[in-house]
């Protein structure tokens, strides 16, 4: 079922802008949310989007001064780097 996924997404929303299915194709709206809410970190759930969709969105948001993280399919962690010259980190997602 979706309960585990929903719990993880809810936990992530406390710290990050989590891109949802109804948002991924609306780049203008994503940019507006980033600006209005002063977002500095964006997370993509790889269980909800293909790598192609994520990369397309990353390319369109690359000048927004945000860092990007990805939650791999079926995991309770996110991966990503805040610097292109350093190795990325793994951040475990705390759920209740």
Segment 28-54, tens digit of pLDDT: 999 999 999 899 989 888 888 889 999
Query: Looking at residue 35, what is its pLDDT?
Result: 94
For residue 85, the enclosing domain spans 3-92
Mean of the per-residue pLDDT values for the chain?
Answer: 83
Cut 0.85: pTM above it: no
Number of domains in the chain: 1
Tokens 């970190």, residue? 41
**5-9, 43-47, 65-69: which range is least confident on average?**
5-9
């Amino acid at each position: 079922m979706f309960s585990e996924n929903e719990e993880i997404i809810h936990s992530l929303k406390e710290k990050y802008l989590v891109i949802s299915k109804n948002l991924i194709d609306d780049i203008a709206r994503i940019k507006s949310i980033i600006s209005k809410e002063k977002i500095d970190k964006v997370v993509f759930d790889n269980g909800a989007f293909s790598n192609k969709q994520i990369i397309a969105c990353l390319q369109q948001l690359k000048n927004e001064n945000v860092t990007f993280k990805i939650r791999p399919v079926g995991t309770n962690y996110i991966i990503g780097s805040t610097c292109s010259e350093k190795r990325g980190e793994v951040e475990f997602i705390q759920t209740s």
